[in-house]
Structure 1
Amino acid sequence: MKTIITTFLFILTLSLQAQETVGGKVVKNAKDKTYQKGEQKGDETVDKALNKIEDGISNLFKKKDKKAKKKKSKDDSEEMSENDNSSSSGSISKTNLKNIKVYSKFDFIPGEKIIGYDDFSTTNIGDFPLGWNTNSSAEVVTIDDSNQRWLFISKDGYFQPDFVKDMPENFTLEFDVFTRYRSNNILEYQFYILPSTNPKRDLSEEYLNDYFQFKWLACEGSSSFYVVENGETVGKNEGFTVKDFICGGNDKEEPTQVKISIWRQNSRLRIYANENKILDIPQAFNSKSKYNVFKIGAKYMNFSENENKDEFMVSNIRYAVGSPDTRSKLITEGKLVTRGILFDVNSDVIKPSSYGVLKDIASVLKENPTVNINIIGHTDSDGDATSNLTLSQNRALAVKNILTSEFKIEENRMQTEGKGEAEPSDSNKTAMGKANNRRVEFIKL
């Protein structure tokens, strides 16, 4: 027993010394990190060593809870079965159907052709992404153990993706926002759509002669919008509540993650927060102006403490050309290509936000009961070709099954096929190209 205690004290001493001395700062257990900032390899090595030390101490002095371990194994197996895409059955789980029905009033239709996309997958952790401009600072991070990358904005200022430019009269713009409010200060998030003769010059300007501005207060859900033409406010609504932006928990420190979808059709502007349409403005755009700038940013974040920062992050920016009537293509041209039916990564589980597209296609099939279709799934080139072929087949089958189960389209009217990565519509060398290649085609038979 003396040997065990001596060993424990020696290991504990090493652990504390390592925490105090590496990199001149405390190295925390990776499980306790809210986000990763691209630490040096030495830090990563110490993290792993410390985790092993902690696990060894825990195993040495704690009795194993067999009941808890058994329950954990059950939870793990359930999670694996939900995300496993090896099955070719293409069946739709009840959980997926329940989630997708939440979006039953979601009428957003993403643009047909992606002309700008950034998920920061090509940006190193800790760096600022290429193709963006700013008058502030930010860095790409990951949250907990997720592979999704975010642009972490911690200071006042604006951030402008250069690929959102020359906005057509019909376009869609989607992005995810993650916020966590930790200070007691007023905190405001906002984005602009505007015409500019010099986007770099106007990046730092808050108020210009022509713009659409949307903003919301951290955690409170209180939101406002302004339409300005020739320096005059011609439309506004201040202080309306968007429940999706409201934080949870007694201390309001629980984060919120919201998908924002923007849809322009000529002068009309619709904005969605998750499945909820929060704005529908018929005269939001000036027909005489050429809109070419989108910028997003925050105010009053500079008051946040370094060790307890407010968190504002964006990810998955998807900019696409819309079409006045994409669904008629299935009937008039015999083919409809959509990139708006989205799936979980490496999975055939359809994301709930795909409801609007599926509903639109189902409407065409109901209006034309003699039309039969072939549903074809396509993937990008990530992974091996055989797995991608199977994945594309399963995804096509999942689309067929949900059209049958949720929208009551007769099963015998639909065939399915998977092409995998074999027929790309764009280059697989860029994130935007890969996003265009992940698509579903509907062919009239």
Structure 2
Amino acid sequence: MKTKYLYTVLALLSISFSQAQLLDKLKKKAEKAAERTVEKRVEKETEKKTDEALDEVFEEKSSKKSKKSSKKSGDESTSNSSNNEIVTGSNFFPGGQVLFSDNFKQDAYGDFPANWNTNSGGEIIKVNGEKAFKLNPSGTYTAKTSKLPENYALEFDLVTENLDYKGLSGSNFGLVFSNESTLSKPKNGGKFGFSLWKGSNICNQINVQNWGKTNGKIDNNIPFKMQEKFNTITHFTVVVNKSRLRVFIDNEKAIDLPSFLSNNFGNYIQFYLKGTDPKEKHIVAISNVKITEEGEDIRSMLLKGGFSTTKILFDSGSDKLKKESYAFLDKIAKVLQDDTTIRINIIGHTDSDGDDVKNMTLSKSRAAAVMNYFIDNKGLNKSRFMFQGRGENEPVAYNTSAEGKAQNRRVEFQTLK
């Protein structure tokens, strides 16, 4: 009996131990399953975060690439759409002799400026602490200048405020060019102008017109986003080279018409304003007006066959270039870099002082020095140049005065075909 009882107890203990082992195994399996679940969850979350981080990296790279492809630098902008590199744009920075300048500092606030004429009215106002000349609607304005030369640049800032919707449907601002000193419409002339109605797309174009018996007939609208230029200060540079008119707005070229001012109808300039309403507090003003005499642009002169200049200087009796010559040489180099079809013959000239044989040698070595400046400093190809010396044999003035001798000491550029 005792033995049977003992077997029974042992059997129960064995079952209990087996159950305990089973429970322990089940517990371990459950723990491992839970661990695998957690690991999978962690892996999934980690993968998600990694993907998000990678997306941000690639998006940033894509954004930088997009910005880089559309970035503007200096006087040019580049586009890489369709794998084509397209370079556009230009600018002009006047640097000639000042013919007229007015920042209105001598004029009192509320007065009409002393250096101007008008058939309407206007007054001096303050803009950002500086004086500006506020124009009246339906007015024409001229600066008190003498007849302007064939080649000049006009700079001014256009100040505008409150140009949104109301009362601007017929507004217009622009410049008139003529060979008459008048406040009326000239018999022969040309003009460019644009609407001031910021609330309409009509202002995103510039109208150009010319008229008269001896002027070419042009009446056209040139697309340009003036809308974004309103209610701020916008810088204009207007360049006249005989019959050619160029207009740069915030250093971006907006107009370039080679024969717009036929027969040089650009000797006088009128500013005009139409259609604004003082009751709506529309403000159209000009400031920092300056006119400088500029030489005909170098590219035009080269395309016409060439030119000579006394702006290239050398040490006395030497072919060593003076530093004062570099700025002008750089302008010529820029034209040659931009237009690779132009080839030139560089010719040196001297005055009659000294031995004529030595002058011939000196003139030739000076021409070579100019050529070498373009090659060594500007990377231009030698095949685009020739050089010669003419010594004292081709004077353009008498060698009997210092002024005449200075004119004869020159460098000539002839365009090669």
Q: Under a length normalisation based on structure 1, what TM-score does the superposition of the two structures give?
A: 0.47
Q: Who is 1:299 aligned against?
A: 274
Letter in 1 for 2:282: D
Taking every aligned residue pair, what percent have the same amino acid on both sides? 19
Q: Which structure has the larger Rg over C-alpha atoms?
A: 2
Q: Contact 2:188–2:265 at 8 Å: present in 1 too?
A: no
Note the C-alpha offset of 1:241.
Answer: 2.5
Offset at 1:233?
A: 6.1
Matched, 1:108 2:118: no
2:114 aligned with 1:130: yes
The correspondence of residues 222-301 of structure 1 with structure 2, limited to 5 A, is 222-230=205-213, 234-238=217-221, 240-243=222-225, 245-247=226-228, 255-287=231-263, 291-301=266-276
Which residue of the partner structure matches residue 151 of structure 2? 170
CA pair 221-192 structure 1, distance change in 2 beyond 3 A: same
1:83-140 deviation per Cα after TM superposition (whole angstroms, max 9, x unaligned): xxxxxxxxxxxxxxxx992433333141411111111122122211111000111111
Cα 1:125/1:361, change in 2 over 3 Å: farther
The alignment of Structure 1 onto Structure 2 pairs a total of residues equal to 241
User: How is 1:325-340 mapped onto 2 (pairs within 5 angstroms)?
Assistant: 331-332=312-313, 334=322, 335=324
The reply to whether residue 118 of structure 1 matches residue 108 of structure 2 is: no
Q: Distance in 1 between matches of 2:152 and 2:215?
A: 25
| 1:309 has 2:292 as partner | no
Alpha-carbon distance change, 278 to 325 in structure 1, aligned in 2, over 3 angstroms: closer
Rounded to whole Å, the distance in 2 between the matches of 1:315 and 1:361 is: 35
Aligned match of 1:349? none
Corresponding residue for 2:82? none
In structure 1, distance between residues paired with 2:139 and 2:103: 21
Cα drift, residue 255 of structure 1: 0.6
| CA distance in structure 1 between the partners assigned to 2:149 and 2:298 by the alignment | 15
Paired residue secondary structure (1:313): strand
Shift of residue 185 of structure 1? 3.0
Q: CA deviation at 1:212?
A: 1.0
Cα RMSD for the two superposed structures = 3.7
Q: Is residue 160–residue 294 contact of structure 1 (8 Å, CA) maintained in 2?
A: yes
What pairs with 1:375-414 in structure 2 (closer than 5 Å)?
Answer: none
Q: Is the 8 A contact 1:108 1:356 kept in 2?
A: no
Mapping for residues 358-373 of structure 1, pairs under 5 Å: 368=374
8 A contact 1:108–1:357 mirrored in 2:
no
TM superposition shift of 1:292:
2.9
Which amino acid in structure 2 is aligned with residue 236 of structure 1? D
SS in 1 for 2:217: strand
Which residue of 2 is the match for residue 221 of structure 1? 204
Q: Report the Cα distance in structure 2 between the residues aligned to 1:212 and 1:103, rounded to whole angstroms.
A: 27
Q: How many angstroms does 1:338 deviate by? A: 7.9
Judge conservation of contact 1:209–1:232 (CA < 8 Å) in 2: no
- Indicate conservation of the 8 Å contact 1:114/1:318, yes or no: yes
**Superposed displacement of residue 358, structure 1:** 11
Gaps of 5+ in 2: 1-70, 77-88, 300-308, 315-321, 339-369, 380-417
In the alignment, what sits opposite 2:175? 191
SS at match of 1:225: strand
Matches within 5 A, 1:59-208: 101-104=73-76, 105-143=89-127, 146-163=128-145, 165-180=146-161, 181-182=163-164, 183-186=166-169, 187-196=171-180, 199=181, 202-203=182-183, 205-206=184-185, 208=186
- 1:344 match: none
Could you say which structure has the greater relative contact order, defined with CA pairs below 8 angstroms and 6 or more residues apart?
A: 1
1:188-237: CA deviations, max 9, x gaps?
112101111xx2xx30x24x320111110012223201021228761121
Contact 1:106 1:277 in 2 (8 A): yes
Q: Aligned with 2:129: secondary structure?
A: coil
Aligned equivalents of 1:324, 1:271: Cα separation in 2: 15
**Contact conserved, 1:102 with 1:275, CA < 8 A, in 2?**
no
Give the CA deviation at 1:360: 7.3
CA contact (8 A) 2:313 2:325 kept: no
